[in-house]
Chain A
Amino acid sequence: MYRRCDKLFPADYFDIPARLRGYMDGCLEPLTEIQETDNELIVRVDMPCVRSKDEITVNLTEETVSIEAKMEKAVQYERWGTFQRGVRFFKYSKTFTLPTKIDPERAKARFVKNVLELRLPKKGRVFKIEIQ
C-alpha cells in the first residue's frame, strides 16, 4: 500500500519544504548568499531582529558553517497563512556545506546592518610562479 502511494506521489508532494521544518522549533532559516573569489568565500546572512553580534554563534569546520542567532524578541506572524500562524520564532538557525574547503583559523566575521558577513580563506597554499 505504502509502495503504491510512493509511486503515486513524489516524495515531497505533501512534504513541508526543508527550510520550513524548523518552524516547529521556533527557528527561521536566514536568507544566505555565498560569493567566491580567488582566495576566499564570502558568506552573507540576513538577520533582521538580531540586536548585536553577542547574540550570534558561528561554528566552522573546513567544510561546513553552522550559525545560530537569538532574535531580540520573539516574532509572530499574526496575519500569515494557516501553517505559520501562532508559531513564535525566536532564533535563526542554519547549517550548510561550503563549495570548497576553508581554513577556519583564519576566518573573520562582522555584523553590520543586521547582516552577518563571514570571510573564509580558502584552504591550500598559493604558489606564485615566475613567467619565463
Chain B
Amino acid sequence: MKPNEVSIYELEKVEGGNSVLLCGLPDVGLVGIISVSHIIKELGMKEVGYIDSELFPPLVVFHQGEPTYPIRIFRKDNLLAVFSETALPPESLYPLTRLIVNWSKEKGLSMVVSLGGIGVPNRIDIDEPKVYGASSSQKLRDMILQKGVSLMEEGFLVGPYGLIAKHSKSLDVPNLILLAESFPNYPDPGAAASALEALKKFVPISVDIKSLKDRSDEIRMNARELMRKTAENMQRMGKSQEYELPLMYV
C-alpha cells in the first residue's frame, strides 16, 4: 500500500450486477452508521471485503477476539454495504469517497445510497424526523419527489456524502442521498429510523425498524465515543458551512 492511497480488498470476488451500495460513514448524528449497522445485523449480511489506508487512524477493531479492519464491505443478495467503525480524518475523505465511487462504477452498481443526517437545532421538539433526498441524477430526483420525500433543493453538504455526490456526478454514477433531521452531535437512532423508512421506498429491504427504536438507549451509549471523535472531525472539515446559504442566484 502506497502512502496516501486508499485501497479496497475483496475477500471474495464481488459481482456488481444490479446491486445497490449503502454507505454508512461517520457524519451528523451517526445516522448512516446506525442505520447501516442495523441493516447488516438484521439481514445477516456477510463480510466480503474491507478498505484500508495509511490515512486512517492506526488501529484495528477486535470482534469476538479477531482483529478486523474498521471499514468493511458486506453483501447479501443484491445489497452491498460499506460501513465504518472509526471516525475518519478529513484528509482521508477525498481518496476514500473517490475509491468508493470508482469501485461502484467499475462493478456496474445500479445505485450508491448515502444514508445520513442533517443537523437541526430544534431536534428535541421533533418526534418524527423529516427526511430530505438529493441526487446526482435527474431520474433519481424525479423519483425522490414521486416517493413523497422532500427534495433538498439548495444548500451545502459537507463531508463524506458531499464528496460521494461530487464524484458520482463526475463519473455518472447514480447516487441517492437520504438525510434525516438529526441531533448534530449526539448519536440519533430516531433519525436513523426515519432514514430507514425513507430507504424502504427506494430499495426493497425487509428490516424491522421498531427494534432499532427499542434499542435507542443502548445504541446511544455504545456510540458515544465514535460520536465524540466524529464531532471533532466535523468541526475540522467545516461542517458548520451547512448552515450557510449558497450565494448563487441571490
Residues of A participating in the B interface, judged by any CB pair closer than 8 Å: 28, 31, 33, 35, 42, 44, 46, 48-49, 75, 77, 112-115, 117
Contacts and interface: CB of A to CB of B under 8 A. Distances in A.
Given A112-B125, A115-B124, A31 B221 contact: no
Give the interface SS of chain A, mostly helix, strand, loop or mixed. Answer: strand
Q: Which size bracket describes the interface of B in this complex?
A: 10 to 19
A27 B124 CA distance: 24
A69 to B, nearest CB: 13
A46 B183 contact: yes
Contacts of B227: 31
B186 A112 contact: no
A119 to B, nearest CB: 11
A48 B124 contact: no
Nearest to A30: B224
A25 B224 CA distance: 18
A117 B186 contact: no
B215 to A, nearest CB: 11
Contact of B190 (A35, A49, A75, A113): A113
A39 to B, nearest CB: 15
Contacts of A113: 124, 190
B228 A31 contact: yes
B184 interface: yes
A77 B222 CA distance: 8
B204 interface: no
B185 interface: yes
Contacts of A75: 221
Contacts of B183: 44, 46, 115
B121 A35 contact: yes
A114 B121 contact: no
